[in-house]
Structure 1
Amino acid sequence: MLNIPLWKRVLIWGLCALGVVMTAPNLFYTQVETHNDAVIAVEKAGGVASPEQEAALALWPSYLPTNLVNLGLDLRGGAHLLAEVQVADVYAARIDGMWPDVRDALRDVRDQVGNVRRQPSVDGVLRVAISTPAGMPAALEAVRALAVPVVTLTGAGQTDIEVTAEGDTIVVQLSEAERVSTDTRTMQQSLEIIRRRVDAAGTREPTIQRQGDDRILIQVPGIGSASELKALIGTTAKLTFNPVVGRTGDAGANAGARNLLLPSSDAPGEYYIVEQTPVVTGEDLTDAQPAFDQNNRPAVSFRFNPSGGRKFGDYTANNIGSPFAIVLDNAVISAPVIQSHISGGSGIITGSFSVEESTNLAVLLRAGALPAEMTFLEERTIGPELGQDSIDAGRMASVVAMLAVVVFMVASYGWFGVMATVALGFNVTLIFGTLSLIGATLTLPGIAGIVLTIGMAVDANVLVFERIKEELKTARGPARAIELGYEKALSAIVDANVTTFIIAVILFMVGSGPVRGFSITLGIGIITSVFTAIFVTRLFVVTWFQYRRPKTIEV
């Protein structure tokens, strides 16, 4: 009456064996991790390995799986930052950049509006006065023609700017629909650029996600400190090339209209007066690499896209003998004199760089400029020692939970309890094998989910064994009792675990960070627990029964 087809037995044992094989690399975590890092480095080097990399490659056989369970910030140590993106800065930059277009549009109707001059205003608002108030309708029509539709579902039918009149002054500002759209774009762009910068630095399994309307959570395991992480991602890295108007040593000097007074990063106490409108910006860059100048000093080479290269080439051709400033985050890092026409759209940035600084600057420029500055509201550094303490505590909790379950099951169900605890071992192996296979990140709450799973894993076996006890009381044979025990307990097992799995899914969908880590291990643990209880433990029981053929059994 007890019969499990051969193909099903092979499949069950195959899945258990696969779980063991996928879990094995985690038992040699340091060696496998070093091996994996060497593989990546060799691939980047075009397949050429140094002696040290060859030694690292030999630490783990290439024919074995190399997937590891990634350790989260609380287990590995690293840096945690919570940043607030200053989205209002984007409004101001966007409106400020519209002034040339507004001026040109009003120039076309100068016979009606007279002279045009820009008025002082708060950030994010452009105020333009005209000398002929009677021409205000024509002026408003000309400026409103610059508006474009907002391409969002919520902004359908609306334009990106609002143009109104206050006496003889035209007021231009972003519409509410465009502000919402700009916020979304700014946050998405900030997330992507931060991710590029972190990935370019070679860090492993970072957590970068939006929180609320204007905040970003950044957690990077394995990095030295929060200050190191801030240095990597906290710089806006806004690069511009501006014409130089003059140089001064007075920090309070009047730069003049449409000019900026910027400090020199090379010479403290020295300031440059540059035109506010740049010739080209970092948005036109296609590549930036650390390099060395003709004097063998660290520098950064760059290359523009066709549009930027053309603008850069035209400017240098028309301004030979004049200085121009290379401005990074509102500081002049270099102000060379144009010696000749620079064609080809490439050049080199020199300054007082160290090799590390030139490398970091190249990474920042390559990843792109952040659209807005960030204010760090929270920063923490978690040392690797604390992470190791967490791992040790989690391991101890798992061992204690396992021992407690083993003692309870063996004391309550005898030989059947022994088989259930062996299946429990396969259950834990399958959890770690699945985490390794999907590249999940294990956190301290994730360990809590595994410990909880260990306690819950035998619940299905308890239901089955208790049901077998009941069936034995009906004087049926042991084979029939075992068969009915599994059949009648199945619905209760499925119902209990499906409801818990639904909770795990909800936690994953609406939660973040530690909550998600807990839900992942809980969800995987539920699936493996049902598999081991219904199939693995049953295979043990059936195999034992067919081998021993007992006349009676005690559960």
Structure 2
Amino acid sequence: MLQISAFKRVVIWGVCFIGLLFAMPNAFYPRVERHNDAAKAIEAGDTSPETAADYAAWPNWLPSTIVNLGLDLRGGAHLLGEVQVEDVYEARVEALWPDVRDALRPLRATVGTIRLQDSAPGELRVRISQPEGMEAALEAVRDLAQPVASVTAAGATDLDVRAEGDVIVVTLSEAERLATDERTLRQSLEIIRRRVDEVGTREPTIQRQGERRILIQVPGLGSAEELKALIGTTAQLGFHPVVGRTSNPDQDPGLRNEVLPSIDEEGVYYIIEKLPVVTGEELTDAQPAFDQNGRPAVNFRFNPHGARKFGDYTAENIGSPFAIVLDGEVISAPVIQDHIPGGSGIITGNFTVEDSTQLAVLLRAGALPAEMTFLEERTIGPELGQDSIEAGRIACIVAFIAVLAFMAASYGLFGMIANVALLINVGLIFGLLSVIGATLTLPGIAGIVLTIGMAVDANVLVFERIKEELKTAKGPARAIELGYEKALSAILDANITTFITAVILFVMGSGPVRGFSITLALGIITSVFTAIYVTRLMIVMWFQRKRPKTIEV
């Protein structure tokens, strides 16, 4: 009869205490946030007095995990970009020319001379002087094709090879294009995530939308332009042989060459070979540094494959210039003075300290595989975010007051016990959000407000069931016990179905929908816990102390 073991009581109150303890730092949000930022700065080597003061603003023995605020609450930058996957097709097909040339060379007696022709983007066109050898040429080029690396394209190859008169036309197959699209989007997502993480922002949202689009939301960042500067830079680094210099940007560079401007030398253009000796993809590290003259620069290091190619090239081309090209501009064109083994070097140029740091970040994160065009950009100011927080706070307070007043008026003392459990419930929600590192958005606040209204449903079911049992002339202890037992199935059924809905919203939704589903799901868990265990324990403790002959619900 209304007995709860000491062990269960300790567990119930222990869970409530731990949950409220982890929720407590959110009541001192600015102070704890400064403490956490200072802790990271100290780990990075910052020993300034201001950092030490911020670190001491919150005791170390207390939890310091807080709920992360989303873009709509903190303010920040929002971008919707589209990846231009056609760039990848073009680069991939252009890179096939050396392989096609090498495959046709043994057939010179059959196909005659081999010449690269001007081609449309995504096509490689090669003319042979003896069309009667076309079948042999097509067979040789088709042997270059590889199976498509995709489960959905089993048996397909990556190249389509056909003849148009005396011209061999090579394009990517449809299956390879689809597989390339998927790889390009995945690679772009990962590189963008690494670039944003390098800046140290809190809880960015980076996710795919549709076939070619990527949504990027970074709370706390100054503006969309700042985010575009970080994301939009492709950081395509290459080390190219130099053919010559010119002051005419429209000069014909010759086949497989291009004219690129110099960053340091105004009006100077370099004619370089299109195919690089080494690319930025073979970099393993890049760090900001200073050259021998104390000017900002960037140290770099290649992987073993890139180091070998770089070392061989410098050994064979001593006295010749080579161009370091970043995103279509020559940032440096030094003359090779000696063999450079080991695969490490330094990039110098007209950099500031900020420029060299930014370049090192971009190079470490890797090159975007294709250009991104931004379809939508938005900057949400911190004032608007603060307005959203205030609106959410007002909504929570109004919901609280209304629910507390209704429960107290409807169920008296039992309603007041349910109100205390409701306060504990909200504290547990914030404790869980803090522990799992969730991001709270405006829809998430809506989920909490909804939870406040739903949290008392289980108590209403129990209290109404106790009323029914009291009408059958059972004693108060037995009525309370039966009320909880018989209401349990209805409570679980109602909350399980809502929890399933929250899970579906989380799996199928994105952005704000997920924020709503997380707080809704956590609210259901804490509501069931407080209704079944916390309110029951409080009623049992009251009943055992007062021993009333009758009760009024």
* Residue of structure 2 equivalent to 1:105: 103
> Which of residues 471, 474, 477 is equivalent to 2:475?
477
Task: Determine the C-alpha separation between the residues in 1 that align with 2:205 and 2:366.
Answer: 20
> Which of residues 329, 332, 341 is equivalent to 2:339?
341
Q: Secondary structure at the match of 1:108?
A: helix
> Which of residues 255, 260, 263 is equivalent to 2:261?
263
Deviation, 1:42, is: 2.8
Task: Determine the C-alpha separation between the residues in 2 that align with 1:117 and 1:494.
Answer: 75
Deviation, 1:7, is: 1.1
Amino acid corresponding to residue 2 of structure 1 in structure 2: L
Q: How does 1:154-553 map to 2 (within 5 A)?
A: 154-553=152-551
> Which of residues 55, 60, 63 is equivalent to 1:62?
60
- Of stretches 131-140 and 89-98 in structure 1, the one that deviates more from structure 2 is 131-140
Task: Determine the C-alpha separation between the residues in 1 that align with 2:523 and 2:73.
Answer: 20
* Residue of structure 1 equivalent to 2:12: 12
Deviation, 1:165, is: 1.6
Q: Secondary structure at the match of 1:109?
A: helix
* Residue of structure 2 equivalent to 1:30: 30
Q: Share of identical aligned residues, percent?
A: 74
Deviation, 1:166, is: 1.8
Deviation, 1:236, is: 0.4
- Of stretches 355-364 and 467-476 in structure 1, the one that deviates more from structure 2 is 467-476
Deviation, 1:192, is: 0.6
- Of stretches 149-158 and 211-220 in structure 1, the one that deviates more from structure 2 is 149-158
Task: Determine the C-alpha separation between the residues in 1 that align with 2:275 and 2:157.
Answer: 26
Cα deviation 1:436-481 (Å, max 9, x = unaligned): 1110010000000000000110011111111111111111111111
- Residue 43, structure 1, aligned to residue 63, structure 2: no
Task: Determine the C-alpha separation between the residues in 1 that align with 2:87 and 2:395.
Answer: 49
Task: Determine the C-alpha separation between the residues in 1 that align with 2:117 and 2:301.
Answer: 37
Amino acid corresponding to residue 476 of structure 2 in structure 1: P
Q: Secondary structure at the match of 1:243?
A: strand
Task: Determine the C-alpha separation between the residues in 2 that align with 1:307 and 1:407.
Answer: 72
- Of stretches 421-430 and 120-129 in structure 1, the one that deviates more from structure 2 is 120-129
Q: Secondary structure at the match of 1:158?
A: coil
Task: Determine the C-alpha separation between the residues in 2 that align with 1:49 and 1:355.
Answer: 21
The size of the alignment, in residue pairs, is 553
Task: Determine the C-alpha separation between the residues in 2 that align with 1:328 and 1:279.
Answer: 14
Amino acid corresponding to residue 325 of structure 1 in structure 2: A
Amino acid corresponding to residue 474 of structure 1 in structure 2: T
Deviation, 1:402, is: 0.4
Cα deviation 1:202-241 (Å, max 9, x = unaligned): 1111110010000000001111111111111110000011
Task: Determine the C-alpha separation between the residues in 1 that align with 2:15 and 2:409.
Answer: 29
Task: Determine the C-alpha separation between the residues in 2 that align with 1:138 and 1:41.
Answer: 65
> Which of residues 76, 95, 100 is equivalent to 1:78?
76
Listed as ranges, the gaps of 5+ residues in structure 2 are: none
TM-score (norm 1): 0.98
Deviation, 1:380, is: 0.7
Cα deviation 1:408-440 (Å, max 9, x = unaligned): 000111111100000000000110000011100
- Of stretches 70-79 and 267-276 in structure 1, the one that deviates more from structure 2 is 267-276
Task: Determine the C-alpha separation between the residues in 2 that align with 1:151 and 1:223.
Answer: 38
Amino acid corresponding to residue 246 of structure 1 in structure 2: G
- Of stretches 380-389 and 51-60 in structure 1, the one that deviates more from structure 2 is 51-60
Task: Determine the C-alpha separation between the residues in 2 that align with 1:319 and 1:10.
Answer: 78
Q: Secondary structure at the match of 2:376?
A: strand
Q: Secondary structure at the match of 1:254?
A: coil
Task: Determine the C-alpha separation between the residues in 2 that align with 1:56 and 1:321.
Answer: 55
Deviation, 1:50, is: 4.1
Deviation, 1:285, is: 0.8
Task: Determine the C-alpha separation between the residues in 1 that align with 2:374 and 2:348.
Answer: 30
Amino acid corresponding to residue 9 of structure 1 in structure 2: R
Amino acid corresponding to residue 188 of structure 1 in structure 2: R
Q: Secondary structure at the match of 1:265?
A: coil
Q: Secondary structure at the match of 1:150?
A: coil
Amino acid corresponding to residue 300 of structure 1 in structure 2: V
